[in-house]
Amino acid sequence: MRTLEIKRSIFITWFDNLLPDSQELLLAARRVKPNAQAPYSGFKVGAAVLDVAGYVSTGVNVERCTYTQTTHAEQNAIDNMVSKYGPMAISAIAIDAVNDDRRLLVDEVVLNDLIFPCGHCLQIIWENCLTDTTRGVTIISYLDSKNLVALAPISSLLPVRFGPNNLGLDVFSKLREDR
Ligand SMILES: [Zn+2]
């Protein structure tokens, strides 16, 4: 028997320590969050994606009473990007799903405090990743109502991924040919 080890890292830091691009992306997610349509869960989410051309696209969750037809914020942001600019690879996505006044300290954060994309959205994010399978997209998320954030590469949140390569496709080359 052989065991394949998976290394995962999630970084907790202060907003002020982030690069300007990451700060802007988080602020864009926080700005758009109040627009969420969440009458059933009351759980509003804002998301902002940074594509490889440097454009930012945003999205919010949009709930419907059937539940299964609900759109998640991350998917909405990526679909919004595609509608504006066409199919693109993304380099980062920021999320704000903090819906209370909680304040956390770096040293006290536990895994249950993290609010990262659900499995459905991780798959969607991966679909628009760079082809760099070792690093991929950086996912940044607010941890509290102030300035504590968590960062992780998608390889830490979705370590074993089903993607276009499993179908033998270089999907971005194909999409470029189709345009
Ligand atoms: Zn989701």
HEC string of the chain equals CCCCCCCCCCEEEEHHHCCHHHHHHHHHHHHHHHHCECCCCCCCCEEEEEECCCCEEEEECECCCCCCCCECHHHHHHHHHHHHHCCCCEEEEEEECCCCCCCCCHHHCCHHHCCCCCHHHHHHHHHCCCCCCCCCCEEEEECCCCCEEEEEEHHHHCCCCCCHHHHCCCHHHHHHHHC
Q: Give CA separation, 100 vs 103, 143, 146, in Å.
A: 9, 10, 10
Question: Is 63 within the bounds of a domain?
Answer: yes
Give residue for tokens 């804002």. 46
Question: Is 93 within the bounds of a domain?
Answer: yes
11 beta partners: 151
Ligand 1 mean position, distance from CA 3 (Å): 30
Domain count of the fold of the chain: 1
Residue range 48-66: mean pLDDT, rounded: 96
Is the pLDDT confidence value at 22 over 70? yes
The two structure tokens encoding residue 170: 């270089």
Question: Is 124 within the bounds of a domain?
Answer: yes
- CATH number of the domain bearing residue 26: 3.40.140.10
Question: Is 4 within the bounds of a domain?
Answer: no
Ligand 1 mean position, distance from CA 71 (Å): 8
Question: Is 99 within the bounds of a domain?
Answer: yes
Q: pTM for this structure?
A: 0.92
Ligand 1 mean position, distance from CA 175 (Å): 24
What's residue 149's pLDDT? Answer: 97
Instruction: Name the band, by pLDDT with cuts 50, 70 and 90, for residue 162.
Output: confident
In the chain, the amino acid numbered 76 is: N
Are the CB atoms for 26 and 18 separated by under 8 Å?
yes
pLDDT tens digit string along 166-179? 888 777 676 666 66
Question: Is 5 within the bounds of a domain?
Answer: no
Ligand 1 mean position, distance from CA 123 (Å): 9
Instruction: Name the band, by pLDDT with cuts 50, 70 and 90, for residue 29.
Output: very high
Question: Is 69 within the bounds of a domain?
Answer: yes
Ligand 1 mean position, distance from CA 89 (Å): 19
Is the pLDDT confidence value at 133 over 70? no
What's residue 111's pLDDT? Answer: 93
Instruction: State the residue range of the domain holding 148.
Output: 11-178
Is the pLDDT confidence value at 134 over 60? no
What's residue 142's pLDDT? Answer: 97
Residue range 117-135: mean pLDDT, rounded: 80
Question: Is 6 within the bounds of a domain?
Answer: no
Comparing 41-55, 75-89, 130-144, the range with the smallest average pLDDT is 130-144
Ligand 1 mean position, distance from CA 146 (Å): 23
